[in-house]
Amino acid sequence: MPSWPEWVVSRIGLVKDECQPSVTDGKWRTMPTLPSHLMLSQTERTEIERAIGELTELCDQTPERDPRCEAETLVLITKMMLALPSSQQNELGAEATGEAFQVALEDLPTWAVDAAMRKWYRGQCGLNQHGQPYDYRWRPAPADLRRVAFSARYAVFAQVRALQRLLDAEPLREFSEEQTAAMRERLANLSAKGGLTL
C-alpha cells in the first residue's frame, strides 16, 4: 500500500460533502469540497491522476485480463494445495478443486491472492462471514480465499475513491464577515416582521 505525501493525506482528511452550487453549472448539489486556499494546483492534480491510474492498473492485473497473471495465480493456487491439506477431499478431487479456485479468483489481482494466502498461512484472516474464526489447519474454501483476497483489493479501491474525491472537490463556498453580517441582518428583519419564527 503506497504512503502518500502529507499534503495528500491532510487534504483527503479535509474533504467534506456540502450542498452548494457547482462551479461548473451553477446547480445546487451535494459535492466534495475543500477550503479555497487548499484547492489542488495543476501539478498536484497531475500527480494524483497519475496515482489513480497506477492503482487502477494494479487492480486490473487479474487472471481474466492478463495471461501472465493467470499463470502466476495458478502457481500460487498449486503451492497452497500442496502445502495445506483439505478437510474433506481425496486426490481425485484435486483437479476440480484447482479449477474452483481459478474460477473464484479469476477477477482478483494476483497480488491480492498472494496477500490473502500469506494472511492464511499466518492465521491472520480474521473472522468468516458467520463471525467465526477460520480453521487454518486446512486450506480455505475457494469462496473464503476470495473473500480475503477481495478485502486486499478493496483497500486499494478505497484509496482510489479517496483520491478521486480529492480531485473532484470544488472550492467550499465561504462567506466574508460582511456577507455573514448582511445575512444575519436580513434574518433579524424577517423575524421582526413576523415572517420567520425562530
Question: Residue 140 is placed in which grid cell?
Answer: 480455505
Q: How far apart are the C-alpha atoms of 21 and 12, rounded to whole Å?
A: 21
Confidence of residue 91 (pLDDT cuts 50, 70, 90): low
Q: What is the pLDDT of residues 95-127, one digit of tens each?
A: 888 899 999 999 999 999 999 999 999 999 999
Q: What is the pLDDT of residues 35-73, one digit of tens each?
A: 999 999 999 999 999 999 999 999 999 999 999 999 999
pLDDT at res. 193: 76
Q: How far apart are the C-alpha atoms of 110 and 114, rounded to whole Å?
A: 6
